[in-house]
Homo-oligomer: A and B are copies of this chain.
Amino acid sequence: MERNGRQARDQSKTGYCIRGRIWVEGVEGTFLGYGRVVLLQRIRQYGSITEAAKSMQMSYRHAWELVASMNRQSGVPLVESSTGGKAGGGTRLTEAGEKATEAFWALHKRFEEFLMQEDKRTAF
């Protein structure tokens, strides 16, 4: 399931709403964040970095750099490209890519639960 980082909660009932963002840092800085994870999911969907980037109104160069950054920082590549062969090559999400995507959304879900609890708990 693809989602974005915006919480669906609303401040209109309680007066205030606690919001936030999370991301995962690796040795180079950001390893995974909302934009990167959506990019991975679009690569799985389209089988192409070019098409994935286009669907996100992102330049191919930027998408390629994000993928390279994730692949370098992960022990195992999250995205693999094959060139040539009968099908003329292609790009796919690896099993490690699938797992990273799932782990990120699971983390995001627990973060949303934390924010909801805090909304109930904290008075400003």
Contacts and interface: CB of A to CB of B under 8 A. Distances in A.
A63 B118 CA distance: 27
Contacts of A110: 114, 118
Nearest to A96: B124
A20 interface: yes
Contact of A16 (B11, B25, B118): B25
Oligomer: number of copies? 2
Interface string A4-40: 0000000110011111111111110001100000000
B21 A21 contact: yes
Interface of A: 11-12, 15-27, 31-32, 74, 99-100, 103-104, 106-107, 110-111, 114-115, 118, 122-124
